[in-house]
Amino acid sequence: MEYLMTELQGVWILEPKVFGDSRGYFMEAYKKADFERHIGSVDFIQDNESKSSYGVLRGLHYQRGEFSQAKLVRVIKGRVLDVAVDLRKSSPTFGRHIAVELSEDNHRQFFIPRGFAHGFLVLSDEAIFSYKVDNVYAPQSECSIRFDDPALGIDWPIAAADMKLSDKDVKGLPFSEAVYFD
């Protein structure tokens, strides 16, 4: 596994070594000792999976306070644009984002630490998205930031009119009203 540090402190792209032949492929998707040597100790407690169709945008979500979550995400099938937004007030990259394409072909993974909002947009006919989290889902602590807030300047490759959003995401707060982390 190759660990690539991004310009946002604590956010990493992981590129596994994929061994393929005429039968298919094999790769290590997660190895605790290697992960901890490069990124640090994260106690992942749950694996989640979602299936979405073209144009579905999920995000930008985060949980406040004691229920904040770190995530290790990847795409099992399809292709998505995955985005993390820095909500840490003390960070030199506060308010900035990074976007990474994750797909079944590139096998990339994306580590997003606590203190970030996260979302993804499905670019293929469908996508199966898998993620590890280090904390439970707490609906009372969940927040959503507007995916199209001009203050963030995220370049989504699908027009907003062609996106499929939940009511929660349609009603997301502007970045200026988000609850930030210290």
Record the tokens describing residue 155, joined without a space: 């370049």
Is 180 considered catalytic here?
no
Is 107 considered catalytic here?
no
Burial class (CB in 10 A: 0-12, 13-18, 19+), 29: middle
Distance of alpha carbon 75 from its chain centroid, rounded? 10
Percent of the chain that is helix, strand, coil (3-state, to 5)? 15, 45, 45
For 53, the enclosing helix (H) or strand (E) is strand 46-53
Which of the residues 61, 97, 107, 137 is marked catalytic? 61
Q: Do 120 and 59 touch, CB atoms closer than 8 A?
A: yes
- DSSP annotation of 178 reads S
Which of the residues 62, 97, 107, 131 is marked catalytic? 131
Q: Do 108 and 15 touch, CB atoms closer than 8 A?
A: yes
* Active-site residue list: 61, 131
